[in-house]
Amino acid sequence: MTVAKTLFPVKAFPGLKSVSNPSPAELRRRAAFEERTTSFRAPAYYTRRASSRSAQNTFLLEGETKAGRHQAAMAPEFARRVAEWVAQAMPKVEWYRIDRVIGRHPSASFHARLWLPQEYARVALLWSQTLFAPSQAQKNLSREPDVLTVYLPQWKELIPEAARSGLPERLVLLCPDRGVNYVLGIDYVGEAKMSFLRLAMFGMKRRGGLGLHAGSKLIRAASGAELRDVGMLLFGLSGTGKTTLTLDDHGLKKPEGVLTLQDDIVFLTRDGAAYGSEDNFYVKTEGLAREEQPDLYAALTNENSVFENVHVDEAGAVDFLNYANGTNGRALCRRNLLPNASDQIDLGRVDKVVFITRRDTVVPPVARLSRDQAAAYFMLGESIETSAGDPSKAGQSIRQVGFNPFIVGLEEDEGNRFWEILRDNPGIEVYLLNTGSIGKGADNGGAGAAGVKITKAVSSAILVFIARQGKLEPGAWMADAEWGYETPARVPGIDDFARKYSPRSYYRAPTYRRLVQDLKQERQAYLSQFTRLRPEASRAL
């Protein structure tokens, strides 16, 4: 018997005191002691133990599945002790047992079950409304779910006092081979949400596809006299503009338009479909202003929202720009309140893939990549750290394979699978989108010390430009000699695009060459650690 099967022989706890699948109204009543009510009658809550994911305290129990280079494995003996402590603690608690469903397509659907102490009902109130309702059969206690999470914020108070010394306050243990998570010492909804979605993505990989940290949308765009429905995936780490651009309607007017499908996790199949995972959205509220995102603002200032660590004053006024409770404010946003969203969550065909990055010197606003380059940039996962990931490193540039901090298993497997899906679906085009700036530290004038900001309006116009292209116009894209990718000669709606948004415009030739060379070496050094990556991707930079 494997270590995983020994430690987690079953995924049911029939002897515990529990209430099965309470309604949102029941959960809100139970959480009333923690609620601050907004002026529009929505509940707001504040975490007591953690306000962001505990990435540094997340460990994988190895078995058939091995930890990747950027994942921490837990020693089996320590995992055994943790499992024993949790088993001893669970009878001391009154529980909620909540069943939900991740995804609706039969080939990309997973039964999720959360065990949560009743005093933390606020966590279930928000989390449960992000996913889909279970069947009656899935509510049966004797039925094992695909993914189980035991969520015990007060774990250390419940284990023997002699065992507490030296233990971290927060601990996440995942056992992918059994589909089990222990989330301990944490009361942040995002940790519950991602415990399930992380193992669902792993499950999709086992089924031959890929779980992706990406939003999905359908853009109905005019290409000449023809209207085309263009399926688009947008990758990016939290806080990089992925959700903003996924929810954006780009100002398109009928007969053109946008349909938002997903904003966080999708399941990519071998034949190029991208199936959705969630019903409603769990959005980051940092920087949200009515003037810049009126549709999202209106959707959130609604009685059906649920807020976490968002500032609400004693009179019930919500202030998304007040960070007294930290910058990782979150909210449940109901799909039916967004004007460009519908009940549809599945994308039958992916046409365009967009990797969102944030750089500030020599990376252009957009570049079109070859298949090999796409696999390399997928592995690079360049972006910027945010308060939602590791608050201590917020603002620093990072690299994360697949733009995905939730990968389980060897990272090369993800890059190789992505390359294979592109090979088998040659109609999928891949782009790199820089939402940061260009020309920082310019020595040839025109940019200023901080460089030229690439605004949301520019990024939005670029995505429309990409979507409107059917058969590419001759001369629309130019090869870049240094990088090997292509950049647009023009983008409709952006004046003087080729000059204003060319990094070369802001540096003297020696400076530009040095910056390019430094970045190439940095990227190649990062890729070199992935020894099992396909050579086509390894050599693509």
CA torsion 51-57-62-68 (nearest 10°) is 90
The residue to which tokens 């071998």 are assigned: 270
Q: How confident is the model at residue 476 (pLDDT cuts 50, 70, 90)?
A: confident
Cβ atoms of 242 and 263 closer than 8 Å: yes
Confidence check: pLDDT of 473 > 80: no
Q: Does the global pTM surpass 0.75?
A: yes
Q: What is the pLDDT of residue 465?
A: 95
Q: Kindly give, in sequence order, each residue whose CB lies less than 8 Å from that of residue 126, ignoring residues fewer than 6 positions away.
A: 45, 189, 282, 306, 308, 330, 332
**Three-point CA angle 247, 252, 256, nearest 5°:** 110
Position 14 confidence tier, pLDDT thresholds 50, 70, 90: confident
Phi, psi of 149 (to 5 degrees): -125, 125
50 vs 490: CA distance, rounded Å:
46
Would the pLDDT of 208 be above 90?
A: yes
**Which residues are within 8 A (CB) of 421 and not within 5 positions of it... i.e. 6 or more apart?**
209, 210, 268, 269, 270, 272, 428
pLDDT at 389 over 60: no
Cα dihedral 491, 397, 330, 170 in deg (nearest 10): 160
The confidence score (pLDDT) of residue 268 equals: 99
Residue 207 has pLDDT above 60, yes or no: yes
Q: Any idea which residue has 């309607």 for tokens?
A: 249
Rounded-to-integer distance, Cα 184 and Cα 155, Å: 6
Mean pLDDT computed over 229-233: 98
Average pLDDT of span 391-401: 77
In this predicted structure, what is the pLDDT of residue 448?
79
pLDDT given at position 472: 53
DSSP 138-184: GG-TTSPPSEEEEEETTHHHHS-HHHHTT--S-EEEEETTTTEEEEE
CB-based burial of residue 364 (10 Å sphere; 0-12 exposed, 13-18 middle, 19+ buried)?
buried
Pick from 428, 422, 426, 409: nearest CA to 205: 409
Please tell me the predicted confidence (pLDDT) of residue 394: 61
Cα dist from 334 to 279, 283, 343, whole Å: 8, 10, 11
Provide the pLDDT for residue 295: 93
Say how far apart CA 389 and CA 393 lie, in whole Å: 8
Q: Is residue 130 predicted with pLDDT exceeding 90?
A: yes
Fold of 16-206: Phosphoenolpyruvate Carboxykinase; domain 1 (3.40.449)
218, pLDDT greater than 90: yes
69-81 pLDDT, tens digit per residue, is 999 999 999 999 9
- Could you report the per-residue pLDDT of 19-36, keeping only the tens digit for each? 999 999 999 999 999 999
Interatomic CA distance for residues 351 and 366, integer angstroms? 17
pLDDT reading at 391 higher than 80: no
d(CA 199, CA 182): 12
> Which helix (H) or strand (E) covers residue 98, if one does?
strand 95-102
| Rounded (10°) CA dihedral 261, 264, 269, 273 | 20
Task: Assess whether pLDDT exceeds 90 at residue 182.
Answer: yes
**pLDDT at residue 474 greater than cutoff 70:** no
List Cβ neighbours of 106 (8 Å cut-off, separation of 6 or more). none
Mean pLDDT of the chain: 94
Q: One fold for both 16-206 and 210-280+344-538? A: no
For the stretch 501-521, pLDDT in tens is 999 999 999 999 999 999 999
Res 470: pLDDT: 59
**pLDDT at residue 240 in the model:** 78
Per-residue pLDDT, averaged over 367-396, amounts to 82
Instruction: Choose which CATH entry (3.50.50.60, 1.10.10.10, 3.90.228.20, 3.30.1330.10) describes domain 210-280+344-538.
Output: 3.90.228.20
Taking phi over 0 as left and psi of -120 to 50 as alpha, with beta for the rest, 100 belongs to: beta
Range with lowest mean pLDDT among 153-162, 276-285, 438-447? 438-447
What's the CA gap between 54 and 5, in Å, rounded? Answer: 26
- Is residue 379 scored above 80 in pLDDT? yes
| pLDDT above 70 as % of the chain | 96
The Cα 195–Cα 209 span in angstroms is 19
Give DSSP secondary structure letters for 362-374: S--SEEEE-HHHH
Domain residue spans in the chain? 16-206, 210-280+344-538, 287-336
Residues with Cβ within 8 Å of 458's Cβ and at least 6 positions away in sequence, in order, are 365, 494, 501
pLDDT in tens, 289-298: 999 889 999 9
Judge whether residue 388 has pLDDT over 90. no
